[in-house]
Amino acid sequence: MTISCQKKIVKSVGNAANNIEFANGLEIYNYEGFTVMKITKPWPDAAKTYTYVCGKNTHKIPDSLQQHPFIKVPVENLVATSTTHVSSLIALNEAEKLIGFPNLDYVSSEKVRQMISEGKIMELSDKESLNFEKTIDLEPQIIIGLSMDSETSKFNQFEKAGIPVVYNADWVETSPLGKAEWIKFFGVLLDQQQNANSYFKTIVTEYEQAKLLVKQKTQKPTVLSGAIFQDVWYVPQGDSWMAQFINDAGGNYLWSNSKGTGSLSLSFETVFEKAMNADVWIGPGEFYTFEQMIAANKHYGNFKSFKNKKIYSYSIKKGPTGGLIFYEDASNRPDLVLKDLISIFHPEVLPDYQPAFIEVLK
Amino acid sequence: MFTKYSSYHFFFIIVLLIAALCNLIIGSVHIPANEVLAILSNNFSGKASWEYIIMEYRLPKLVIACLVGMSLSVAGMMMQTLFQNPMAEPYVLGVSSGASLGVALCILGKSLFAPWLQVYFSGSIAVVVFALGGSILTMFVILGISQRIKQIATLLIVGLMFSSFTAAFVNVLAYFSTAEELKKFTFWNLGSLGNISWQQIGFITPLLLITLAGSFLLNKPLNALLMGEGYAKSMGIHIQKVKFLIILVTCMLVAVCTAFVGPIAFLGLAVPHITRMVYKTTNHFQLFIGNIILGALILVLCDIICQLPGEQFILPVNAVTSILGAPLVIYLILRNRA
């Protein structure tokens, strides 16, 4: 009787370089025969890192990594939980891998809407989360998860049932290029790393070139963002995603000195005193007409940007079923968001440009 | 005796005027007192934003605080006498629950209606209309029931049941709502004295003043009711008619206040007690005036406290009235027991 055994090649995980440049919550290490992907910030203030080992097979995975979930790539099918995931799948030409999604109406992309009408993608919504029974019945290979905080019980139940959950935290990133770099996350799962890398490289080049167009501008329009909820006004903080875009596009965001990546809650008086004469207003919350704004709160009418009709929203462009295009595609295409803003702040720099996401209020 | 109450009224009116001035001076944006006075006397030539903040934000807020403070306090006084219960307050009849249901339908239930109808559900006017609609509907139900019952205390139970029913309905609507809609509704429930326009004040003021004048005429029957229904009947008071009018007036005051500023907790419960403690009388004529002045004064003071955190944020008014009102009520109960 002969006993055969396979010799495993053990490699230290410290040897490979992290393939990630801008994103703070994602790390990708490529080894021979497998890739280690770490989600270091699955939600804000996370104390936990999720490590996934991805490969075509388990032959070359060392013992030290056996404790982590193994994902066989390329993934055959998946359930996603955010429209940003859908956008990444489209960018890598892998939309057919999507077999289930909660709240299908939020999805706007033409290709996926076509798949939905053909019955290829199942509606999995159960109000705030995935319907357990329907998702299990679908038998996806993986679920791309999204959690606001460490309360992940609704995803843990799928893991107990044998479906791995891979947490995507693109929404936690605060820098424009950091968010877009999460295309590489899908590159790993779909065995399309090369495509994902070159896609991202193009985005970076476009973004940096656009930024250069306005770098020397000394005349910057003053910019307000946010809207009032009863007596509380939420404005993005200085290090937030939107604030960075505004500054990179040559705008003078009035709260760019504030620290933090979330929003400030301010009183109406404070915002009014500082921003009454702001030249431009970007992102006034849910509104898409001037009439709606004045009906909600008459104080809006006294802002200079309201009187001059220079209020721009990214909530106007919607897909055929009411999904917001901005929420779906903007995190993958920061170059377009930047150019949209440049065309508003310094129109002479991009004279024939048609905005991809932003529109002036009706 | 008359002079004693007059001097109290005069004193508290002076305090109210001082509080009103402080209310206009204190806010998230620091505007020096002399500039505030210059703006009020039309002698100002400084920052346009300051003039706007004083004339279009703080001054309407002050006016509405006075009107709502007066109305809820008088309504509370009438409820406590009608039900012979010191824990009664303007919301026991369930009118504010009706307003809450209307607003829930407007904010949380919008998506249940056809898209062409949904346009009527947006804007601040829509919230007011739905709140008024909900409270007036509740008022008719309560008035109808009040005519059919013998014991007035039964109405308290009806009010409680109505509150439970509307709360259950609101919970169902909330279950199917988005986070944004829930936040809007929660904020409405926290009450807000800001964001009232002069046009809205023009609508609210005559309504409330006429209703308050009507409640003034009820002071004599209220005095009689204090001695018991038998005594009141012997004084020629038509009990059923008086109860009907007291409920009608209270419902109107609560409906109008709640529709425009949301529910304001504890004011209608605590202020009548404070007035009785200060004036040491059970004469509703004096208590009426006392409640008007002290109700306005206390809500204005609460609003000043709301502004104190500074430029970062303002406290919701219900938080302040509850934090002050709840311990006060406990103190009053213990003091009475002693």
Question: pLDDT digit string (tens) for B54-112?
Answer: 999 999 999 999 999 999 999 999 999 998 888 888 888 888 889 999 999 998 888 77
Inspect the interface and report whether the beta carbons of B313 and A265 lie closer than 8 Å: yes
Question: Please, which residues have CB within 8 angstroms of residue A151's CB and are 6 or more apart in sequence?
Answer: none
Low-confidence stretches of chain A (pLDDT < 70) are 1-14, 128
Contact assignment for B192 to A269 by CB distance below 8 Å: no
Tokens of A104: 């299908």
Determine, for residues B188 and A230 on separate chains, whether the beta-carbon distance falls below 8 Å.
Answer: yes
Q: How many Cβ atoms sit within 10 Å of the Cβ of residue A123?
A: 14
- Which H or E run includes A143? strand A142-145
Q: Choose among A228, A297, A302: nearest Cβ to B52.
A: A302
Indicate left, alpha or beta for B228 from its phi (over 0: left) and psi (-120 to 50: alpha). left
**Cross-chain residue pair B29–A264, CB shorter than 8 Å:** no
Q: How do beta strands A98-101 and A122-123 pair?
A: parallel
Size of interface A-B (CB pairs under 8 A): 80
Tell me which residue of A231, A361, A349 sits closest to B316, measured CA to CA: A231
In chain B, residues with a C-beta closer than 8 Å to the C-beta of A270 are 28-29, 311-312
pLDDT band at B158 (very low <50, low <70, confident <90, very high): confident
DSSP state, B46? Answer: S
Chain B CB contacts of A295 below 8 Å: 122-125
A360: β partners: A312
Helices B239-261 and B95-107 cross at an angle (nearest 10°) of: 30
Q: Do B50 and A273 touch (CB under 8 A)?
A: yes
Q: Residue A356's closest CA among A343, A328, A337? A: A337
Asked whether the predicted pLDDT for residue B307 surpasses 90, the reply is no
Sign for the CA dihedral angle at B188, B193, B196, B202 comes to: positive
**Separation in Å, CA A167 to CA A72, A81, A161, A278, B251:** 16, 10, 17, 40, 53
What pLDDT does residue A255 have?
Answer: 95
Question: Region B151-158: what's the mean pLDDT?
Answer: 82
- A269 neighbors B28 (Cβ within 8 angstroms): yes
**CB-count burial class (<10 Å; 0-12, 13-18, 19+) for A72:** middle
Q: What is the pLDDT of residues A33-45, one digit of tens each?
A: 999 999 999 998 8
Q: What is the pLDDT of residue B312?
A: 67
| Cα–Cα distance measured from residue A152 to residue A179, given in angstroms and rounded to the nearest whole number | 22
pTM, rounded to two decimals = 0.83
User: How remote is the C-alpha of A28 from its chain's centroid?
Assistant: 18
Q: Exposed e or buried b for every residue in A296-307, given b needs 16+ CB within 10 A?
A: bbbbbeebbbbe
- State the DSSP string of B211-279: HHHHHHTTHHHHHHHHT-HHHHHHTT--HHHHHHHHHHHHHHHHHHHHHHH----SHHHHHHHHHHHHH
Our CA-based measurement puts residue B148 at a distance from the nearest CA of chain A, in whole angstroms, of 41
What pLDDT shows up at residue B126? 87
More confident residue, B40 or A129: B40
Averaged over B320-335, what is the pLDDT?
83
Closest to A279 in 3D by CA, of A231, A338, A341: A341
The DSSP secondary-structure symbol of B121 reads G
* Shortest alpha-carbon distance between residue B195 and chain A (Å): 7
> Mutate which of B195, B260, B304 to disrupt the A interface (most A C-beta within 10 Å)?
B195
Residues of chain B contacting A292 with CB distance shorter than 8 Å: 122-123
* Structure tokens that stand for A319 in this block: 């897909």
Q: Which residue out of A267, A272, A307, A324 would a mutagenesis test of the B interface target, given it has the greatest number of B Cβ atoms within 10 Å? A: A267
Residue (of A21, A46, A49, A24) closest to A36 by Cα position: A49
> Angle between the B95-107 and B179-189 helix axes, to the nearest 10 degrees?
150
pLDDT at A7: 43
* A278–chain B nearest CA distance, Å: 12
Those residues of chain A whose CB sits closer than 8 Å to some CB in chain B are 127, 228-232, 264-270, 272-273, 276, 286, 292, 295-299, 302
User: For A272, which of B53, B175, B197 is closest by C-beta distance?
Assistant: B53
Q: Do A295 and B28 touch (CB under 8 A)?
A: no
| Chain B residues with CB-CB distance to A265 below 8 A | 312-313
Q: Are B286 and B304 in contact (CB under 8 A)?
A: no
pLDDT at B43 over 80: yes
**H or E, element range at A189:** helix A183-189
Question: Which chain B residues are closer than 8 Å to A231 by Cβ?
Answer: 192, 194-195, 314, 316
Determine, for residues B124 and A296 on separate chains, whether the beta-carbon distance falls below 8 Å: yes
pLDDT value for B162: 86
A24 to chain B nearest CA, in Å?
A: 27
- As a whole number, the mean pLDDT across chain B is 88
Subunit contact B195:A270, Cβ cutoff 8 A: no
d(CA A273, CA A336): 32
Rounded distance, CA B330 to CA B338, Å? 12
